[in-house]
């Protein structure tokens, strides 16, 4: 695209977009400007300012006040996913910029990873794998757990939590759920008491958004409520869990194990104490990285941007800064 053909510029923070999203942007004469993965806010602000971007498509990195203020042309921010804890919503609202989420685009993919991690932990897959590869053969001593009949506790009963619950029920697990806002379903009565879920569950799977009320929701006190043979799965945001408290719980074996797809610091340092824990499974925040999820998130994000830049507005259900209308 030549400069005369370009109608606007979209800063994409992180990895490349799927070809369908790239084609969408090209068809509407929008030029993508790619920032390296995990660029600092200073780097992103400089890029937004230098290119006078009209939109930001957020995959990684922190979109703080300085980034939002950098380009006077900025009209929309689209999140390649649903979590917006890395975007300063208040700053966006102050300048009238909608922040739009890709609704349910990666829900199935994240739910599937949560269940995959659950099965891996309950069936001791990593431990057995390492023993066999080291020359052992623990067949005669090994006694495994049953998934059927085990209690799967969902914390956060939105789209992802409900899909994880459905998958767990398909494996014969009994599902219980906590959410202060969600309604009951035909199959599941949703509790308003988190302690009740933590005490009863054999697996606690986190699916709540990160906000001030959920920061370190799972702390030392709440970890102490879990069964000693229970597991914690986090495919939500890293800071929902007090990582230091979790490390202690795993070291002392006050819970049986954990699986983390997200961390308080990403990527975690190479010398993190987490890597010394044999009862921890770690994946690099890839819950939403299946082929279909990546396509859905990218296309939905590009569509959000195109709609705003071409004057057609946006889907209010996707709006993350809900007070934007009242601030306008």
Nearest one of 95, 109, 158, 140 to 296, comparing CA atoms: 109
Nearest one of 59, 55, 65 to 38, comparing CA atoms: 59
Q: Residue 285 catalytic? A: yes
Distance between CA atoms of residues 89 and 87, nearest Å: 6
Q: Could you please report the per-residue DSSP string of 55-94?
A: EEEESSS-B-HHHHHH-TT--EEEESSS--TTB-HHHHHH
Helix (H, G, I), strand (E, B) or coil at 157: coil
Distance between CA atoms of residues 244 and 118, nearest Å: 22
Backbone angles phi, psi at 133, to 5 degrees: -65, -25
204 with 226: CB under 8 angstroms?
yes
Helix (H, G, I), strand (E, B) or coil at 160: helix
Helix (H, G, I), strand (E, B) or coil at 176: strand
One of 237, 264, 304, 310 is an active-site residue; which one?
A: 237
Residue 319 neighbours by CB under 8 Å, 6+ apart: 98, 99, 100, 101
162 with 185: CB under 8 angstroms?
yes
Helix (H, G, I), strand (E, B) or coil at 152: strand
One of 145, 215, 285, 295 is an active-site residue; which one?
A: 285
Distance between CA atoms of residues 318 and 314, nearest Å: 8
Distance between CA atoms of residues 273 and 269, nearest Å: 9
One of 199, 266, 304, 310 is an active-site residue; which one?
A: 266
61 with 45: CB under 8 angstroms?
no
Q: Residue 291 catalytic? A: no
- Catalytic site positions: 237, 266, 285
């Amino acid at each position: 695209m030549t400069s005369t053909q370009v109608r606007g510029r979209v800063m994409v923070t992180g990895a490349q977009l799927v070809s369908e999203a790239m084609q969408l942007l090209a068809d509407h004469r929008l030029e993508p400007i790619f920032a390296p993965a995990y660029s600092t806010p200073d780097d992103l602000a400089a890029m937004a300012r230098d290119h006078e971007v009209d939109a930001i498509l957020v995959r990684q990195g922190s979109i703080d006040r300085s980034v939002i203020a950098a380009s006077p042309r900025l009209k929309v921010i689209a999140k390649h996913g649903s979590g917006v804890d890395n975007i300063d919503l208040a700053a966006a609202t102050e300048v009238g910029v909608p922040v739009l989420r890709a609704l349910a685009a990666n829900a199935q993919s994240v739910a599937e990873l949560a269940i995959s991690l659950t099965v891996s932990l309950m069936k001791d897959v990593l431990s057995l794998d390492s023993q066999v590869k080291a020359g052992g053969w623990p067949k005669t001593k090994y006694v495994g757990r049953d998934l059927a009949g085990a209690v799967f506790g969902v914390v956060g009963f939105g789209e992802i939590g409900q899909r994880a619950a459905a998958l767990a029920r398909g494996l014969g697990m009994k599902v219980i759920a906590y959410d202060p806002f969600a309604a009951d379903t035909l199959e599941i009565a949703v509790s308003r008491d988190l302690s009740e879920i933590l005490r009863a569950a054999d697996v606690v799977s986190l699916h709540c958004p990160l906000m001030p009320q959920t920061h370190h929701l799972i702390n030392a006190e709440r970890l102490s409520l879990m069964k000693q043979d229970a597991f914690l799965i986090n495919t939500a945001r890293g800071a929902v869990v007090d990582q230091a408290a979790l490390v202690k719980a795993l070291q002392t074996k006050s819970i049986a194990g954990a699986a983390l797809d997200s961390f308080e610091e990403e990527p975690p340092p190479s010398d993190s104490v987490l890597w010394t824990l044999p009862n921890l499974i770690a994946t690099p925040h890839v819950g939403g990285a299946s082929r279909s999820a990546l396509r859905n998130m990218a296309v939905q994000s590009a569509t959000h941007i195109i709609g705003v830049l071409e004057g057609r507005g946006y889907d209010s259900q996707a709006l993350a800064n809900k007070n934007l209308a009242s601030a306008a």
